[in-house]
Structure 1
Amino acid sequence: MDVPVIVAGGGPVGLTTAFELQSRGVRTLLLERNPSTTRHPKMDVTNGRSMELFRRMGIAEKIRDVAVPRGNPMDVSWVTRLNEWELARFRYPDVESWREEIRANNDGSQPLEPYMRLSQVVLEPLLRGLLEESPLVEMRFGWAVEGFDDDGEGVTVHLREVATGRTERQRCALLAGCDGGGSIIREKLGYAWDGQYNVARFFMVHFRSEARDLLQRFGIAWHYQSPAGSTLIAQDDAEIWTLHCMLPEGADAAAIDPRQLAFDALGREFPIEVIQANPWSPHLVLANGYGRGRVWMAGDAVHQVIPTGGYGMNTGIGDAVDLAWKYAAILQGWGGPALLDSIEAERRPVGRAIVDASRLHMGVRLKIAQAYAPIIHDDTPEGAAARDAYGALIAELGNAENESRGIELDHRYRQSPIVCHECDEPEWRLRDYVPSTWPGMRAPHLFLEDGSAIFDRLGPWFTLVRFTDASAQPLLDAARERGVPVDLLDIRDAHARRIYERDFVLIRPDQHVAWRGDAMPEDPMAVIDRIRGARS
């Protein structure tokens, strides 16, 4: 083998996969066909679940240091146009205020980390820079994966240097396909998309401007939405902005003047430097397979969604962590044959959920658009009445796309072959995370009596949380015999025990629950074999 793992794709999902692998001691080669990190803004929020995972990697605060200032809010505002009237505003706290809310509501329903406003243009260079410091990671930008051969013993990957055409072969034990919507890995595996292509047509104008008298006329906001079909995203609350405008049917994108489009959408002319402008179309699709053998995929290679909700990249971060710890377990020798199969069993239902949720949120926006009438732009009593009614409709329809904790935190691995399942599944809600340690769920975040976060106390691999004085030795001995790394975490905290529901809770490296009980299992070895993928 030339290298244990090759990661195809150097976007946020590929970079996160490589970071997680190297944090587990796995030497990795990352290949990206583009010469540098992205110039396109794409994702503009990192949700609480992704920030929890980045915190576990030790880089959450480094990410916040390059993001929108911690003191800026995440408000979403609806306006007729920026030079006219505000219709409705959904207010969301800044990072520090959100931290206070999380600590005040210590009932297990909150994420450990607040959301973070952050453009992908900023995130990718940061992750790349962190990986450049790792002796375990080699990165080759400007190198494309052309194909691969999985012979059951390893994977031979065919590479091409884009600038020169020079070709090369590299041999690895495992290949991770994080190469985006046009994935060569998915194509070579023979998987197709299920779902709807080209849901709508948009034109993006990514620009620089200090005209905050217009662009922040109603104060700082993350998004300014217009029912006429445009969304303005504040990328840094200072000078970088991204405008997305829905194109009418039959519009010729090639004939669009990006500056004029921005002037028309936002209400007047203003100083502007266009950085990037292009048409684009979102999709609502899910791959009909996530991988097989020694080749598995994550991120946009397996799911693509409308940006409503910000689910694409954030789900990809979860995919990356899931794939990486399982690859590391295989390479360490204690991961069984069902461990790789669990990637699809666990993550594809999550992909289906975000496609469905994204479609649901888009439906809300379409209802708002369908109710649009030009009278809302009139400076008349009739126009004012129409604006009041329209604003009330927007408020009534709500902003679930930025409030759906169930989609973001409550991923349940119901069909997983590496979870010790139970009946009596707790209620699932779109907007709320219902805290539970039902096996397959993400464990609840809590602050303990000493002020520490329970997630910060978990070990790097499996952690057996014990709330009782009873012996945990049978399970620990079984894990030791199989070579499975399990840390014991003793907690004597009545509030935490109530939220965690059992005296013993076994938590995986990705903070999901693998097993729980009020006593040691009758067959501890069977539990260990199941969670390591040795039996289904």
Structure 2
Amino acid sequence: MNAATNADQVVIVGGGPVGMMLALNLAALGVCSTLINRETGPRWHPKGSTQNARTMEHYRRLGIVDAVRAVGLPRDLQTDVTYFTTLDGWELARLTMPSEGEKLAARAAAPADDQEVEPLYRCNQMHAEAVLFDQVQACALVDKRYGHECTSWREDADGVTAEIENLANGRRETIRGRYIAGCDGARGIVRQQLGYAYRGETPTMQPYLGGPMVSTYIRAADIPKVARTRCWQYWVVNTHIRANIVAVDGKSEFLFTTKLDRPDQEPDEARIAKAFRDAVGHDIAVEFVGHGTWTAGQFFVAEKFGAGRAWLAGDAVHLFTPTGGFGMNTGVDDAANLGWKLAAMVQGWGGAQLLDSYEAERQPVAFRNTGASKALNSNVNATPVAPEIGQTSAAGDAARRVAGEYLSGGRPEFASLGVQLGARYDSSSITVSDGTPPPADDLFDYRPSGVPGGRAPHVWIGERHEAGDSLFDRFGTGFTVLRLGRKPAKADGLLAAFAKKNVPVKTIDVDGAVARDLYERDIVVVRPDQHIAWRGNADPADAEAVVAQMIGQQKSN
């Protein structure tokens, strides 16, 4: 047994998108990690299809957004969501949404205060994971242990020790780190040893997205021809089947999802083929590539997100049904929040209260986002489906009109910018309040605000709206001090306090009125995860105390 003694690192268990993003966030701040994952590479089976606006901002911050945009749906594909009785039958409703190319063209022409610096992107999780995997493989600060399993771990006063096993040859090693992060899902070993339970609701049995589900990766190039349209999602709604067909590559590959009868039921290709035929309306050529089972209708949040030297992120702390596309994206935001705090602790500038702020900030967001997903899921299943919906008759016309009117109101599921960008940490011990009430939470509309605790409002600095033209592009990897207005205010006290505490910081002067109007103060401190920590019109009277609070070295008053 070999002993690894690199204590100044974070041990990450779970190499899915959340674990990889945590490793890359740590690396951006110069902190090493060991990434342990059972599989030898990313899983090649489609899952969620949405990289939301906040996730895309994190990709941009890490310098990988262009690589992700290169692997999603074709730029000319309209990302419409269309509902049918069967694909060869009646179209019930269509939610018209722009192609990726149209979104980027709109961004190029947007005003300086436009908040969608990186518009939501329809890209299947397996394609995004492949990009993250390549980035991790190229990162010298990440010790990659794919094809390994963490068999046990223990914590002591100085760090953690993890026992790992190479699944190919049985070779065992001991890995040492300052902290351990469980990004290995609901059944992961980190959460199991911590003994944390989930809080929430068991799945409700309902016509769709409630109970056991099967998602089948298929190749069926004739789907757009049969449906008489190209779009991103094809829904089938009738009296005997509800199914969803999502474009994976925008050409011939799709993910077909429908219900199973029982939780213990294994995917039966003959039954799935019949369900697919029922959804299409007649036989077409189809190749079944693979199947995955899962449970829909679950909305769970862990009772704790970590303690001491062990912390959790992603599915280890929250479980979603995919309505809204919030699951993986919430996990990516977890990684951004936890990453800089673990880096601060490893590098010695984080205070005793800093890691506790992770749960205080992210657990309310998890409850908020799972609640939004639950509400949207209920809407999907409340679709009125009369027995006559598939008939060629006046009654059939009426049934389809009623269903279509209901389904036409489903746009919020696909346009929830408030969920994507609106997470706030107002009550966090490391947010320095100035007494201004935050904007009201809205799941669908995002209102930029300079009130401490929220995402820093975005401003375009350059006219071309390209790489380097965003205010976000100029933020530092650590803290950023913004000095706003035509005559920048002095922030010498803050900068001296950051330097004294060895906190990485960068100063940016922005002289335009747009930024000053959005932030409403002359000086603003932005955290490494792009949330506002403090703002004011002059150096604080006790700058050292303010900086100490931001990094968890003292509790808020």
TM-score between the two structures when normalised by the length of structure 1: 0.95
Matched to 2:217, the amino acid is: H
SS at 1:129's partner residue?
helix
* CA deviation map 1:149-201 (0-9, x unaligned): 11021100121223344332111111111101212111111100111233422
Corresponding position of 1:381? 394
Q: Aligned pair 1:454/2:467, yes or no?
A: no
Q: Aligned pair 1:18/2:23, yes or no?
A: yes
* CA deviation map 1:4-23 (0-9, x unaligned): 11111011111111122222
Q: CA RMSD in A?
A: 1.9
Q: Answer yes or no: is the 8 Å Cα contact 2:459–2:514 preserved in 1.
A: no
Q: Aligned pair 1:464/2:464, yes or no?
A: no
**Could you tell me how far 1:382 is from its partner in structure 2?**
2.9
Matched to 1:224, the amino acid is: Y
Corresponding position of 1:323? 338
Find 1:364's aligned residue among 373, 379, 382: 379
Q: Aligned pair 1:432/2:449, yes or no?
A: no
Distance 1:415 1:147, change over 3 A: farther
After the TM superposition, which of the residue ranges 254-263 and 67-76 deviates more from structure 2?
254-263
**Could you tell me how far 1:450 is from its partner in structure 2?**
4.7
Q: Whose helix proportion is higher, 1 or 2? A: 1
Corresponding position of 1:222? 232
After the TM superposition, which of the residue ranges 472-481 and 448-457 deviates more from structure 2?
448-457
Q: Aligned pair 1:156/2:167, yes or no?
A: no
SS at 2:126's partner residue?
helix
Corresponding position of 1:27? 32
Corresponding position of 1:502? 521
* CA deviation map 1:495-534 (0-9, x unaligned): 2211111111111111100001122212111111011110
Q: Distance in 2 between matches of 1:399 and 1:222?
A: 14
Corresponding position of 2:207? none
Corresponding position of 1:417? 429
Find 1:479's aligned residue among 492, 498, 510: 498
5+ residue gaps, structure 2, are 205-209
5+ residue gaps, structure 1, are none
Q: Answer yes or no: is the 8 Å Cα contact 2:28–2:477 preserved in 1.
A: no
Corresponding position of 1:120? 125
Q: Answer yes or no: is the 8 Å Cα contact 1:152–1:293 preserved in 2.
A: no
Q: Answer yes or no: is the 8 Å Cα contact 1:109–1:434 preserved in 2.
A: no
Find 2:71's aligned residue among 44, 57, 66: 66
**Could you tell me how far 1:398 is from its partner in structure 2?**
2.6
Corresponding position of 1:528? 547
SS at 2:355's partner residue?
helix
Find 2:152's aligned residue among 147, 150, 162: 147
**Could you tell me how far 1:107 is from its partner in structure 2?**
6.8
Q: Answer yes or no: is the 8 Å Cα contact 1:8–1:177 preserved in 2.
A: yes
Corresponding position of 1:180? 185
**Could you tell me how far 1:104 is from its partner in structure 2?**
4.6
Distance 1:109 1:289, change over 3 A: farther
Q: Answer yes or no: is the 8 Å Cα contact 1:86–1:218 preserved in 2.
A: no
Alignment size in residue pairs? 532
**Could you tell me how far 1:148 is from its partner in structure 2?**
1.0
Corresponding position of 1:512? 531
After the TM superposition, which of the residue ranges 375-384 and 21-30 deviates more from structure 2?
375-384
Q: Distance in 2 between matches of 1:459 and 1:57?
A: 11
Q: Distance in 1 between matches of 2:536 and 2:522?
A: 6
Q: Answer yes or no: is the 8 Å Cα contact 2:481–2:525 preserved in 1.
A: yes
Corresponding position of 2:280? 266
The 5 Å alignment of 1:28-427 reads: 28-106=33-111, 108=113, 110-199=115-204, 200=210, 201-214=212-225, 217-228=227-238, 229-247=242-260, 257-282=271-296, 283-368=298-383, 371-395=384-408, 397-423=409-435, 424-427=437-440
* CA deviation map 1:318-343 (0-9, x unaligned): 11111111111112211111111111
Matched to 1:220, the amino acid is: R
Q: Distance in 2 between matches of 1:522 and 1:220?
A: 60
SS at 2:149's partner residue?
strand
**Could you tell me how far 1:24 is from its partner in structure 2?**
1.9
* CA deviation map 1:288-346 (0-9, x unaligned): 11111111111111101000011010111111111111111112211111111111111
* CA deviation map 1:13-71 (0-9, x unaligned): 11111122222222221110123311331121101110011001000001111111223
**Could you tell me how far 1:375 is from its partner in structure 2?**
1.5
SS at 1:466's partner residue?
strand
Structure 1 residue runs of 4 or more that deviate by more than 6 Å after TM superposition: none
**Could you tell me how far 1:2 is from its partner in structure 2?**
2.5
Q: Answer yes or no: is the 8 Å Cα contact 1:109–1:435 preserved in 2.
A: no
Q: Answer yes or no: is the 8 Å Cα contact 1:507–1:515 preserved in 2.
A: yes
Q: Distance in 2 between matches of 1:195 and 1:418?
A: 28
